[in-house]
Chains A and B, each alone.
Chain A
Amino acid sequence: MSSSTVSASGATPTQHLHPFQRRVDDVKTSKADINFVIMDYLITEGYPRAAERFAKEANINIPMEEESIQARVEIRRAIHTGDIDTAINKINDLNPQILDTDPALHFALLRLQLIELIKTCTATETSDIVPALNFASSQLAPRAASNPEFLDALEKTMSLLLFLPTENLKPELAELIKPSLRREVAGRVNEAILASLGARGEAQLRNLVRLRQWAEDKARESGRNIPPFLPFGVQVGPEEGESGEAMVS
């Protein structure tokens, strides 16, 4: 881990500069490139209003008149709120091939739906688990039968029925009811939709962040002369909280 402190770039010039820091300072970035990365991110990850504003404010074009963006935003929202049925329908409206050709993604969505059902039925007084059982046996079991990975995931999910509602789930079960799982699946769906349109599935910004991390790790590994810390000005502190989300303070 690295780069967890506030940027020192505001330091006075009289301060002794690490030679590598000078090298960093000498790199010229172009606003156009950065703006491209921002626009690419807003479009790829589905922030249509921001993208529209940005096109105006930065005086650049929204690339390729991305018509899937609204649908992608709706699908993301549906997955985030746990309305998987709606999400699956919308995905199929867009292109039925997407789920047909990606059984793992389809299974992940159905499993989310099962988790939502389990959460709902275990939360009620009657604890009627029949709908959840029915859904599992009709939708997931046939897919899991031929795939050990799916089967394992299904079994784990079904064990939620035994423990919910409770405060202390085993970590591996707790993972299943966290929002981060929905976010992860929503991200995969978004990528799959974009890929089906022949677009780049992931925003370049994410790749750029990874590149920087990778390059720093490699440079340290091979003993290059770089400062012990390479802050870049955004503070994303130590990973806190059970979900592993970086807390921003």
Chain B
Amino acid sequence: MFRRSSYASVAAGSAAGSSQSQAFAPTRSGAFSHLVNTNSNSGPQAAHSSINHPRHQSRTIDADGHYNSMSTSWGRAAPLPSYSSQFGYLNGFGGAGQDGLASSSFFVPSYLRGSKYAEKLEEAHRAKMAAQREYRSNHSSNAGSLSTSSSSVNLHKMVPSHRGMTHDIIERAPVQVDEPIAPWPTRWSDTDKYAQLEVLEDGRNAKFSGTQKSHDEAASVRADFPMPRQCGIYYYEVTVVTKGKDGRMIGVGFSGPKVPLSRIPGWEPESYAYHGDDGQSFSNTTSGKPFGPKFGTLDVIGCGINFRTGTAFFTKNGVFIGNAFKDLKTDRLYYPTVGMKKPQETLRANFGQEPFAFDIDKMVQAEKESIQAEISKVTRDETALVHELVSQYLAHDGYVETARAFSEEVVEESRALANDDSADHTQAYYPSVLHNNENIYFKLRCRKFIEMIRRCNELSAQYQPLVQSNASNGAKRTSVATDEYDFEMELDEQLGIGVHNNSSSTNNTTNNGTSNIPSSWSNNLNTPMLDTDTDISNTQTKLSHLTDETIKYGMELKQEFASDPRREVKKALEDTFALIAYENVERSALAPLLEKGGRVPVSEELNGAILVSLGKSSSAALERLCQQAEALVGELAEDGGPGAFINVKRDFLQ
């Protein structure tokens, strides 16, 4: 793990920049106005902005929080690096993201696409953009008046200017992501470099502009962020753009944050590299080991770490050379690092902004597959467990009809399978929840019926005062209606009926008893009643409609369970049907069944009964299992373990 610090420390760390930035405030605002417009997802928020500078979009996106705030969270030495010149490669690599948001400076290396880690980072990026949008909308007048195209160009020279902004944003709108997610390297650091080494263009070119070094001196530079373990495998490439006049003393590799940059990578502790002049690999020492071919001008050298296996490998011009280092420590930070010795030597890095020369995607894919194969080898006869998970979920979430059909089919299957065995063998295949299921189903249907009667009753009671005086009591009735609605929804949920399911089911009363609650009924309940004249006739219509429905439902209920031999069922049916005999049920002996106060315990009991039958779990076992799987995989991903190669949702829930 290398989460170093929270956003709080980011904010604190950039306090200095904050005060400095005051002077540049107008510029900053101007820059952000472009951000708003670059975002295709911004929806209504985009509408308020009338400023649009399409031509400057790509150049102003570098104000993106991904770079500035993230960078400070790594606890690197001051002065903090500036990422403001990071605009050059935007045009060509928008394809890295799937949507307009990600088409800004944010990119996803090809081999990480679809990974959980990339998803998280994208999410964080998006949250950041949203926060900036919010900031922008709060300051829209300011920005509107000051935004000019020249300001966005100037921004690149005003190095600290947007860091104060980040600070502000964080205070205003805390980013939803709980923990900062380590970003991947995007460019060479402007500060974490040897003094005479220049970081040019878009930050991906490193050029040695000094004079000839002595034998053991060199100029090195590290990338802006370490290679993140969450990748599982991290990989980047470097192209030797210009070769020095004589010799090819170039080192490509990775090093810890404190390794001196006046030495060629590989010569110091915690520094690892592959050298072009002799093709040897170096770690921790000035004497190398034979490793691969020499390299020089226009060669593309790739460097990768497999965090799961703790090995590092190199490639040359798209060809895998081999593993150079093993047993890398799991608790260290490794930054992509290059070093060179000859004046004018220039190296250009590809951190994933462009397609790689080496087919790293394939390597990562192979790693994923080997892990999937390992998972599929988990042998255990899970058939009974799977049956139980499915039926428990169906019952838990109220898919009662499905649960019944499933249990019937499972029982059929078991009987077929055990045709020559004793009856108790069948029990082994018969999940416990389904034993109780029939009972729960019956109770729920009875409750539903009672509710319908009560509703009828209440409506007719309302009808009277409505006729007498239709100008009062509005508030009270509204609250009654809302309360009623909530309870109705609860029942619907238990029966597995969403309101959306009912939209066209008014006449569907044939064989599917649970889907015949008229949509009009639910909808009416949803609408607070208004004391208008039309309401009276509405109530009347509703009442007769509801009565019809209630009677129909009752008949079905009776038909379905009349022949049920269980005593409790008989008793419940009798009680329930007695209700319908009373003209005004609320005065009958059975009134407790209908009382609102009485309803709560009944429903509690019902829920309780269901939950008990389900092992007292508040969420369905299958959901719990998913959550655990996700959390466990998360644990296994943080340090680059096998979990890094799994995306639960993509790989298992689709």
Residues of A in contact with B (beta carbons under 8 Å apart): 6-7, 9-10, 20, 23-27, 29, 31, 33-34, 36-38, 41-42, 47-50, 52-54, 56-59, 76-77, 80-82, 119, 179-180, 182-183, 203-219, 222, 224, 226, 230, 232-236, 241, 243-249
Is B649 engaged at the interface, CB distance under 8 Å to the other chain?
Answer: yes
- For B616, B643, B653, the residue with the greatest tally of chain A CB atoms inside 10 Å of its CB is B653
Q: What separation, in Å, do the CA atoms of A83 and B328 have in the docked complex?
A: 59
Binding site for A on B (CB under 8 A): 374-376, 378, 380-386, 388-390, 392-394, 397, 399-402, 404-406, 408-410, 412-413, 416-421, 425, 428-432, 496-498, 500-501, 512, 514-515, 611, 614-636, 641-643, 646, 648-649, 652-654
> With A and B bound together, what is the CA distance between A59 and B646 in angstroms?
30
On whether the beta carbons of B408 and A49 are closer than 8 Å, the reply is yes
Known: A52-B405, A216-B632, A246-B385. 16 other contacts (CB 8 A): A6-B616, A24-B624, A27-B627, A33-B626, A34-B623, A49-B405, A53-B402, A56-B512, A80-B419, A179-B421, A208-B626, A217-B378, A218-B636, A222-B636, A236-B388, A248-B384
Question: A81 to B631, alpha carbons, bound, how many Å?
Answer: 42
B431 touches A248 (CB 8 A): yes
Chain A residue at minimal CB-CB distance from B619: A9
**Cβ distance A229 to chain B, nearest Cβ, rounded Å:** 11
For this complex, 26 residue pairs linking A to B, each with C-beta atoms less than 8 Å apart, are A10-B616, A23-B631, A24-B627, A25-B627, A33-B626, A33-B649, A34-B622, A37-B652, A38-B390, A42-B390, A47-B406, A54-B394, A57-B399, A59-B501, A179-B421, A211-B648, A214-B378, A215-B629, A216-B632, A218-B632, A218-B641, A232-B628, A235-B615, A245-B383, A246-B385, A247-B428
Nearest-Cβ distance from residue B70 to partner chain A, whole angstroms: 22
Distance (Å) between the CB of A41 and the closest chain B CB? 6
The 9 closest A-B pairs by CB, nearest first: A233-B617, A215-B632, A233-B621, A50-B406, A232-B624, A234-B621, A80-B416, A246-B384, A212-B629
Q: How far is the CA of A119 from the CA of B630 in the complex (A)?
A: 47
A7 CA to B625 CA, complexed, in Å? 11
Complex interface: chain B residues within 8 A of A215 (CB): 629, 632-633, 635-636, 643
Verify B618–A9 contact, CB threshold 8 A: yes
Q: Which of A36, A77, A214, A246 contacts B416 (CB 8 A)?
A: A77
Residue of B nearest to A231 (CB): B624
Most buried by B among A20, A42, A52, A236: A236
Cα(A81)–Cα(B376), bound, Å: 29
Q: B653 to A208, Cβ gap below 8 A?
A: yes
Pick from A52, A207, A248: contact of B375, CB below 8 A: A207
Does A224 lie within 8 Å of B635, measured CB to CB? yes
Contact at B635–A205, with CB atoms within 8 Å? no
**Distance of A184 Cα from B412 Cα, bound (Å):** 17
The reply to whether A204 and B653 contact each other, CB–CB distance below 8 Å, is yes
When distances are taken between beta carbons in the complex, the residues of chain A under 8 Å from B421 are 179
Bound together, the chains give a CA A209 to CA B364 distance in angstroms of 24
B615: chain A residues within 8 A (beta carbon):
6-7, 233-235
Known A-B contacts A80-B417, A218-B636, A230-B628; A248 and B652 likewise in contact (beta carbons under 8 Å): no
A42 and B406 within 8 A (CB):
yes
Interface centre among A207, A211, A222, A224 (most CB of B within 10 A): A211
Bound CA span A206–B382, Å: 7
CB-nearest residue of chain B to A77: B416
Tell me which residues across on chain B come within 8 A of A209, comparing CB atoms.
382, 385-386, 389, 625
Whether the pair B378, A24 counts as a contact (CB closer than 8 A) is no
Q: How far is the CA of A25 from the CA of B619 in the complex (A)?
A: 11
* Known A20-B635, A54-B399, A208-B652: A248·B617 in contact at CB below 8 Å: no
